[in-house]
Structure 1
Amino acid sequence: MHHHLFESELVHLERVVACAPQKPFPPTYWRDRVEHLKNSPQAPMYRHRIARLSRLVGELHG
């Protein structure tokens, strides 16, 4: 994933996961999106932000 696209995806997820329980997508959808980021070559540079997203997604109730 290109660095700019990776950063855009990360910022988007950081914004929407906070209100995800109010959205029509199940927690598994958000978990899959975060897992996809973990597999990107850029992931090591963003490991703290990705870990935070993983914790937030883990706290979602579906």
Structure 2
Amino acid sequence: MKSSLITVTGLVQGVGFRWSTKRLADQNNITGWVRNDQSGAVIIRAEGADPDMAIFFISHQA
């Protein structure tokens, strides 16, 4: 199992970013959470098997 804590900045609040991250995580067997930060960033806590995490990260960069 692999675990990551990711901070995403830019235009990520109010555009469906958390919803799309949750959907992508569910599709790739990733558990964790995603939340807005007071600074305007989104924080992602993701955990899953190495191959699933790799797909999750690659897919989320698109």
TM range (shorter): 0.3 to 0.5
Higher helix share: 1
Answer 1 or 2: which has greater strand percent: 2
Query: What TM-score do you get using the length of structure 1 for normalisation?
Result: 0.33
TM-score by length of 2: 0.33
